[in-house]
Amino acid sequence: MTRPATLLAGLLLLALPLSLLAGQVWIDPFGPPVRNAVPILMELRAPRAVLALLVGGGLGAAGAAMQGYLRNPLADPGLFGVAPMAALGAVLSFYTGYAVQPFALPVFALAGGALAMGLLALIAGRGAGIALFTLAGMMIASLAGALTSLAISLSPNPFALSEIVTWLMGALADRGWRDVALAAPPTLLGLALLARTGRSLDALTLGEAAARSLGVDPVRLQWLLAAGVGCLVGAGVAVAGIIGFVGLIVPHMVRPFTDGRPSALLLPSALAGALLLLLADCLCRLVPLPGGELRLGIALSLAGAPFFLHLLLRLRREVA
Amino acid sequence: MSTLLARNLIVDGRLEGVSLALAPGTVTAIVGPNGAGKSTLLAALAGLVPGAVSLGSDALRALPPRRRAQRIGYLPQSGEVAWNLSVRTLAALGRLPHDAGAADDARAIDAALRQLDLAALAERPVAQLSGGERARALLARVLAGEPDWVLADEPLAALDLSHQQVLLAQLRALAGAGRGVVLVLHDLALAMNHADRVAVLDRGRLVAEGAPAAVLTPALIAQVWGVAARWLGEPGARALALG
């Protein structure tokens, strides 16, 4: 492991047990025994923490891979349209009322993500260049967004409406081991797929022609990315809703500590994404809000938007 | 080392039936006016554009991409470096097609940096390089891959006179060691003085090919470029006078 990856792994090991102790009920391992401490830890907080690691790690790695692929520091895993399509799937499960069935919501979301991946793969199979591939992804995203709005505006009753809107904000509250079992396989598969893109992403640093001259197969790379990002983002949306900005911010925080190659960024971004989501979810539990806790998706967007602005200003200064 | 052979290359609207045999151990310059198809021909010789190109007994498009990349190094004109890598990390990208092990990689990278006079700049980020330093770093990436063939599109354009000489000497040394070097050049004097062979393209067709002095005659320059010009000076140090 590289130095940033080792450091981040160490921080994660430190943060994980601490995050389990924090919440509406503080659990002090050295203090007086807390009532229901074991069920709180094992049934409420532990699955939530594991989900934060899975979703955050997946979004961090997906963001790093997307930025490497598009050779653009402003790229985000949402660009391929997988997240909006997965969200559309989830929204349709509310719309149709199937969401009350166990597993229906995440399965609908995964199906939506898979549909976006399939469309992307069709486009990749035709040998499209990077710009065309990305534009196609953005069109998928905007179509999914429009259909989601349509489902909201036509929602059959106020309960469905409120369910949809709340769910779209993204959260890890009230998740259990069932959600972990659902998110873990696609997340691990997605990470394994993206780990195979490192060499190609490094070569792409020199542009498409030079990358091909270095032996990169552009169609294979598009397949790997569509499937890898699709699995990670689809799994994330299925269990946590829309969680923005992680895939955008995390590679930026990590990049200065690496040698700049996209492949050197993948593992540290996964670890940093996991750490960021773990800490953010902890803070969400702790902030007292009337009517429940702060939604994770809102918290990250609140923190992420100013960061993005700061990034734009810095980029502008560098160009000037 | 094997011959690089293009047979009747046709690329819609850009190459109209170019056949060319390139021998290892020589420096070949591809020259021609803007839009003549020079870069397209170079990309085809690198196996990046569909077309009948063979390397020895292998059809280039049939070789697995990594095997092809180990044998042919290609430097495009764009000079793009998307991330702010150090010079050494940039040169190391040339090792991507290889699975030779860290020690071999380090040796090849060090050699490439030394050859291009970049050893002192190895840790400098590319964003802090001058245009000429950047052009050398990009060529070091190609040399680090130790390919049999070096195909470079305008590698001298951003270089000052002394670094043009350093680079040309390095490319000559590669050819002297039995490798093939193909350069797209705009400067006819550089082609005249430093290439073993010159291929002249005009509107997608190969109009002349051979030793520079035999090919780059005032008559051909007038025909292809539409410019009246004559050569001054001694062989090996000729200059082109216009008018």
- pLDDT tens digit string along B146-202? 999 999 999 998 788 888 888 898 899 999 999 999 999 999 999 999 999 999 999
Q: Which domain holds residue A82?
A: 3-19+36-319
In chain A, the number of structural domains is: 1
Mean of per-residue pLDDT scores for chain B: 93
Q: What is the pLDDT of residue A1?
A: 61
A259 touches B: beta carbon within 8 Å: yes
Single pTM value for the model = 0.89
ipTM of the complex in this document: 0.92
Contact residues on chain B for A220, CB-CB shorter than 8 A: none
Mean of per-residue pLDDT scores for chain A: 87
**Is the pLDDT confidence value at A319 over 70?**
no
Contact residues on chain B for A71, CB-CB shorter than 8 A: 80, 82-83
pLDDT over 90, % of chain A: 38
Rg of chain A (C-alpha set): 20
Q: What is the pLDDT of residue A274?
A: 96
B182 touches A: beta carbon within 8 Å: no
**Is the pLDDT confidence value at A127 over 70?**
no
Substitution target from B66, B83, B85, B93 for chain A, most A beta carbons within 10 A: B83
Contact residues on chain A for B94, CB-CB shorter than 8 A: 214
CA-CA distance, A290 to A64, in Å (whole number)? 36
Q: Domain for residue A30, yes or no?
A: no
pLDDT over 70, % of chain A: 96
> Could you tell me where the DSSP H helices lie in B81-196?
87-92, 102-115, 131-144, 161-176, 188-194
Instruction: Assign residue A283 the CATH number of its domain.
Output: 1.10.3470.10
CA-CA distance, A160 to A63, in Å (whole number)? 32
For the stretch A135-138, contacts whose Cβ atoms lie closer than 8 Å and that sit 24 or more positions apart, written own/partner, are: A137/A79, A137/A80, A137/A81, A138/A79, A138/A81
Q: What is the pLDDT of residue A30?
A: 79
- Closest Cβ–Cβ partner in B46, B81, B138 for A213: B46
pLDDT in tens, A206-228: 999 999 999 999 889 988 988 89
Q: What is the pLDDT of residue B232?
A: 94
pLDDT in tens, A98-118: 877 777 888 888 889 889 888
Q: Domain for residue A29, yes or no?
A: no
Task: Name the strands in the sheet holding B72-75, side by side, starting at the edge strand that comes first in the sequence.
Answer: B72-75, B149-153, B180-184, B27-31, B197-202, B205-210
* Higher-confidence position of A132 and B114: B114
Q: What is the pLDDT of residue B22?
A: 95
Substitution target from A213, A257, A258 for chain B, most B beta carbons within 10 A: A213
Residue A320: which pLDDT band, with cuts at 50, 70 and 90? very low
Instruction: Assign residue B101 the CATH number of its domain.
Output: 3.40.50.300
Beta bridge partners of B28: B182, B197
Q: Which two tokens stand for residue A174?
A: 């009230």
Q: What angle do CA A231, A233, A237 make, to 5 degrees?
A: 115
What's the average model confidence in pLDDT over A244-253?
A: 88
> Could you tell me where the DSSP H helices lie in chain A?
3-21, 37-39, 46-70, 82-96, 104-125, 130-153, 158-168, 177-195, 198-204, 208-213, 218-240, 246-254, 262-286, 296-319
Q: Domain for residue A263, yes or no?
A: yes
What's the average model confidence in pLDDT over B129-137?
A: 90
Q: Cβ distance A19 to A282 under 8 Å?
A: yes
In chain B, the number of structural domains is: 1
Contact residues on chain A for B78, CB-CB shorter than 8 A: 207, 209-210
Q: Which domain holds residue B136?
A: 4-242
* Higher-confidence position of A121 and B99: B99
Q: Domain for residue A28, yes or no?
A: no
**Is the pLDDT confidence value at A53 over 70?**
yes
pLDDT in tens, B85-114: 999 999 999 999 999 899 999 999 999 999
pLDDT in tens, B189-241: 999 999 999 999 999 999 999 999 999 999 999 999 999 999 999 888 899 99
Task: Please name the amino acid found at residue B171.
Answer: L
Contact residues on chain A for B83, CB-CB shorter than 8 A: 71, 205, 260-262
Q: Domain for residue A226, yes or no?
A: yes
